Amino acid sequence: MSVGDVLVTDGCEYKTIRKLALGMESSVWLVERISSRYGLEVNSLLVAKILTGEASVRAEAGETAELALHMALRKLHMALDEKAGRMSFRHTIGLCDNGERGGFHFFVFLPHAATLYDICRGFKNCDLHRDLLLVKRVIKQSIRGLIDIHQLGFIHTGQRALFVRHVFDGLPVDLVRLDIKADNLSVPLYADSKEGLRAFLEHRTPPLTKECEVPNIRVQLGDFSSVIKAPRDTTGVKAMPRPVRAPEIILGRLWGQAIDVWALGCLAMELLLPSLLFFPKHGYDESEYGDYSHLAQMIELLGPFSVSSIAKCPENVRSRFFRPDGSLKPADQFLAESFARCPEELRSEIFHSNGSLRHPDVMKLPRPGTLQQLLRNARLRGAELDEVHAFVGRMLTLDPDYRPTAAQLLEFPLVAKFNMQTNGTIDA
């Protein structure tokens, strides 16, 4: 694909203006709509995500469900708008058009002003009032986006995103990457004029716009490049980036839409801290040592796993990490057993000759303290502390069978009482 090439769909033509991003599975381009059979405005600037040949083959074979989700969301939103008699704000990225060029599938989207990550990166100081307002606005809207995705039978799936200004692009890994995070949430862009929109989009490093101010922020869930359609608890592959990986995935259980709720809990905490809630150790991310450290961090933060929850795990995983009473094995016992079962050709890479780890810090807790203590460290007190702790604590329920659904999250006071129009409390 080169500058000036034309993408053709059933109803429109789009000319490529500039490449915005290049990933392993797609490239992202700024495009201009140059013709439309349906009376759509020409000369409009949009963004096209063009899949690679390999990714296009998978899409053609039905191995990915990105297009299926977009079409299902479009149908759902049209029905909701017709029922309401007006067009409502979408809490998921909307597909404008799609097509295929020379065997390469592509999707066309409206441009966006920034990602939530861009906005948070611009904060110069800690401000509890701002951060708590941001959590309430972002999480409430994200929940509404998840409700739409979940009721259609999908799990929000996004590979580790390479987001350059306006659109998401996936980087392939050896795992299925499911995550809800700051760079998978974007702010729609509104411009006073076509000239203003063009000036913004053609700016190499555009400034944050008024839509990105915390009291006004509206966000949409995006990055559906690896979305899967599955009912609850049917998928058993290892998934999610390590920092937000849900416990049921680490423990080899079947998992489903509840992992999205876990990821949302991690995001809420990251916005308040502000830092990752869980700290993976570099070089051990996908090893059992990384798993052990991650489980230890969860227990430190959230308390022990229940015996009934541990009993639902495959026996080989359960016995690797836990004692018969359901408690996590001491680090020394775990390491000794790990050394014994480690293939001899790999031992020297991981262990010293005496059985100790070459990098022992992987077994250390990076930040001790309970969830409530972390929230206190973030300067939350009184009723606000209680509300946030109750809300986030339920999203981070260790047993997915008892984790609330996205729809149930809207019933918690922290978001149920929050008025998006006034940023105040909804009167009873």
Residue 1, in any domain of the structure: no
What percentage of the chain exceeds 70 in pLDDT? 90
Residue, of 254 and 173, whose pLDDT is higher? 254
pLDDT in tens, 269-282: 999 988 889 876 65
Residue of 54, 46, 186 whose CA lies nearest to 111: 46
Quick one: pLDDT at residue 305?
96
∠ CA 142-123-219, nearest 5°, is 20
Q: Determine if the pTM surpasses 0.75.
A: yes
Of the spans 54-68, 136-150, 166-180, 227-241, which averages the highest pLDDT?
A: 136-150
The residue type at 213: E
For position 376, which CATH number holds?
1.10.510.10
Quick one: pLDDT at residue 138?
95
Residue 320, in any domain of the structure: no
pLDDT grade, residue 311 (50/70/90)?
very high
Residue of 214, 115, 207, 212 whose CA lies nearest to 166: 115
Quick one: pLDDT at residue 284?
58
Quick one: pLDDT at residue 63?
79
Residues 6+ apart with CB under 8 A from 172: 24, 25, 159
- Confidence check: pLDDT of 185 > 90: no
Q: Mean pLDDT over residues 16-22, rounded?
A: 87
Residue 310, in any domain of the structure: no
CA distance 392 to 407: 15
How far, in Å, are 117, 177, 221 from residue 180 at the CA level? 12, 10, 8
Please state, rounded to an integer, the average pLDDT across all residues of the chain: 85
Tokens of 8: 């053709």
CA distance 100 to 254: 35
Q: Are the beta carbons of 7 and 24 closer than 8 angstroms?
A: no
Phi, psi angles (nearest 5°) of residue 154: -110, 160
Residue 189, in any domain of the structure: yes
pLDDT in tens, 163-182: 222 222 332 222 333 457 77
β-partners of residue 61 are: none
Quick one: pLDDT at residue 282?
56
pLDDT grade, residue 162 (50/70/90)?
very low
In angstroms, how far apart are the furthest CA atoms of the chain? 74
Q: Mean pLDDT over residues 195-211, rounded?
A: 73
How far, in Å, are 10, 62, 112, 170, 226 from residue 58 at the CA level? 22, 6, 27, 14, 10
CA distance 428 to 421: 16
pLDDT grade, residue 20 (50/70/90)?
confident
| Number of domains within the chain | 1
Q: Supply the range of the domain harboring residue 99.
A: 6-279+367-416
Q: Spell 42-74 as b/e; 16+ CB within 10 A means b.
A: eebbbbbbbbbeebbeebeeeebbbbbbbebbe
Residue 245, in any domain of the structure: yes
Residue 341, in any domain of the structure: no
pLDDT grade, residue 1 (50/70/90)?
confident
**For residue 274, cis peptide bond before it (omega within 30 degrees of 0):** yes
Quick one: pLDDT at residue 128?
93
**129 C-beta neighbours (distance < 10 Å), count:** 8
Give the DSSP H/E element, type plus range, for residue 113: strand 112-115
CA distance 168 to 18: 16
Gap between the terminal Cα atoms of the chain: 56
Residue of 142, 151, 11, 153 whose CA lies nearest to 79: 151
Residues 6+ apart with CB under 8 A from 410: 140, 143, 144, 147, 416
pLDDT grade, residue 24 (50/70/90)?
confident
pLDDT in tens, 330-363: 988 998 898 888 888 778 878 888 877 777 776 7
Q: Mean pLDDT over residues 85-114, rounded?
A: 90
CA distance 239 to 230: 14
CA distance 134 to 278: 21
Quick one: pLDDT at residue 158?
41
